[in-house]
A and B are shown apart, each in its own frame.
With several copies, the nearest count.
Chain A
Amino acid sequence: MKHEETIFSGFGGQGALFAGQLLAYTGMAENLYVTWIPSYGPEMRGGTAHCTVIVSAEEIGAPIVQRPSAAVVLNLPSMEKYEPLIKSGGYLVVNESLIDIKSEREDIHVLYLPASDIATELGNPKMANMVLLGAFVTATGLVSLETIAAQLTAHLSGRQQQWLEPNKQALQRGAELVSA
């Protein structure tokens, strides 16, 4: 039965919350149950932001979890915080561009991607989140890349629509890196 509890985490502005939302939209589009819940703190900039996304074939109880089945980490503090918490057999997706440490766990799948570098190459370092998301769903098979791309089209805000194609490319690049 499909059931993935994923944490997306990074600096404010790195798009962790949006990547999580996009996954939730996609799960919903694929007729799965989903919850998305952000950490929220005093509305000031500069802190870390994370969200928990649950995608499941079954109705969801707790929307937050102590030990996620997966974590997508965009920066070092997130890596340090969530790497130890991932359930055995789970996934850790790492933005290698900004995180220069490696996981020592052998009971989880770890994917390292130079996400920020790829994103910068595609025109905007803020798209690192999409690189990681593309890699994550491809590795886990949780949802299909096509559905994500469709949801991206639907949910990228007006100002961001100019970045639609590059974002799709970022997803694609992430996917390619893990399926390669």
Chain B
Amino acid sequence: MTKELLKGNVAFAEAAVRNGLQAYFGYPITPQSEALEHFSGRMIELDRVFLQAESEVAAINMVYGAASSGVRVMTSTSGPGLALMAEGLSYIAGSEIPVVVVNMMRGGPGLGNIQPSQADYNFMTKSAGHGNFHPLVLAPANIQEIIDMVGLAFELAEKYRTLVMIAGDGSIGQMMEAAELPPMQEISTARPAWAVTGAVGRAPNLITSLYLGAEKLEKVNIRLQQKLATIEENEIRWQEYETEDAELLLVAYGTVGRICISVLRAARQQGLKVGLLRPQTLWPFPTARINELAAQMQGVLVAEMSAGQMLVDVEHAVAGKTPVRFYGRMGGVIPMSAEILEAVKQVQEEVS
């Protein structure tokens, strides 16, 4: 095992390269520009495709084009750029092609600032564009995890022919940690049967999201929903920390999730029986497991860098079994473990 000290943005970019990424299209935006910069050197050096697009609108449509031909392709961005991709993301979902998008969330709404945030949770998990769809969303909490999730993202995207997003929260792009990169993977030259590659010896292929006739489009929608249902069945991922004997459950993801590990340690030291569930997939969400755990808890505390977006999903999961409380910071403020610990104590007091 050879670990390197890696910055999150560089780590996921290099992981993508080693996972056989064939093309990257993107537009600079803080706090993920180092990824684009890393791709700009590495992809060209490896004789693969790197192109800085004229905008995020163009970038996502370049990705759409490349993905239509069955190659491994991705882009990365942050809030405002993601918003500009909404139309393209919806087309990609409607066309059922595999695409991976990384969103390093920053403070919003609007131009906001460039500090870390988790306020695009709803945008990513509930819609990401018009129509009945949403991506599969992975949420890494450390550098090793974002590296591993890049590989997973491609795998899932291609397995289900679906849109996969990696939801970083700004800080994860900026921080450095020791982590191991995967070995360099050969690029597969094979293209899937559905891809547009020139109609040689077969009927022409078509990549489209247009389905004239309501019944036809309804069928497509039903297929999409079934696909999402299958994903929901198979791909829920999360990590638990000391939940066995816990009486109070922390739920947090990404950077806040790892901060809660510190909270948990401190709380345990003070004799509080705190456990932590850290969702690794934001959609599909570990609803059943949270519901199950809720039964043993005196309360649940959700911590987020948002106004309380995942909170709603946790409330839905807990389904009234135990009180759910929230601690959130916004606008780029990263909550300190001490603040969350305070909130834990408050919940503890309130419920006991």
A and B touch in the complex (CB under 8 A): yes
In chain A, positions 15-34 with a C-beta closer than 8 Å to chain B are: 21, 24-25, 28, 33-34
Asked if B114 CB lies within 8 Å of chain A CBs, one says: yes
A160 to B262, CA, bound (A): 37
CB-defined contacts of B255 to chain A, threshold 8 Å: 63
Q: Does A64 contact B (CB under 8 A)?
A: yes
Measured between C-beta atoms, what is the minimum distance from B340 to chain A in Å?
Answer: 9
For A66, the chain B residues whose CB sits under 8 A away are 336-339
Q: In the complex the two chains form, is A35's CB within 8 Å of B262's CB?
A: no
Indicate whether B30 reaches chain A with its CB closer than 8 angstroms.
Answer: yes
The reply to whether A63 and B5 contact each other, CB–CB distance below 8 Å, is no
Name the residue among A41, A62, A66 with the largest chain B CB count within 10 angstroms. A62
Residues of B within 8 A of A41 (CB): 114, 212
- Please report the C-alpha to C-alpha distance between residue A60 and residue B338 in the assembled complex, in whole angstroms: 15
Nearest A residue (CB) for B255: A63
Q: Is B31 an interface residue (CB 8 A)?
A: yes
Whether A36 sits at the interface, judged by CB under 8 Å, is yes
Q: How large, as a class, is the contact surface on chain A? A: 20 to 34
Q: Is the interface of A mostly helix, strand, loop or mixed?
A: loop
Asked if A61 and B262 sit within 8 Å, CB to CB, the answer is yes
CB distance from A17 to the nearest CB of B (A): 10
CA distance A42 to B31 in the complex (A): 10
Contact check: which of B174, B178, B338, B339 meets A37 at CB < 8 Å?
B174
B261's closest neighbor in chain A, by CB? Answer: A61
Contact assessment for A35 and B175 in the assembled complex, using a CB-CB cutoff below 8 Å: yes
Q: Let me know if B114 and A28 touch, CB within 8 A.
A: no
Whether A42 pairs with B114 at a CB distance below 8 angstroms is: yes
CA distance A36 to B113 in the complex (A): 21
Q: List 13 A-B contacts (CB under 8 A).
A: A21-B176, A34-B5, A34-B177, A36-B177, A40-B30, A42-B114, A60-B177, A61-B265, A61-B337, A62-B258, A62-B262, A63-B255, A64-B334
Q: Give 13 A-B pairs besides A25-B5, A42-B113, A65-B336 with Cβ atoms closer than 8 angstroms.
A: A28-B178, A34-B178, A36-B177, A42-B114, A43-B30, A60-B258, A61-B258, A61-B265, A62-B259, A62-B262, A62-B336, A63-B177, A66-B339
Of all A-B residue pairs in the complex, the 6 with the closest CB atoms, nearest first, are A61-B262, A61-B261, A37-B175, A62-B259, A36-B176, A66-B336
Interface residues of A (CB under 8 A from B): 21, 24-25, 28, 33-38, 40-43, 59-67
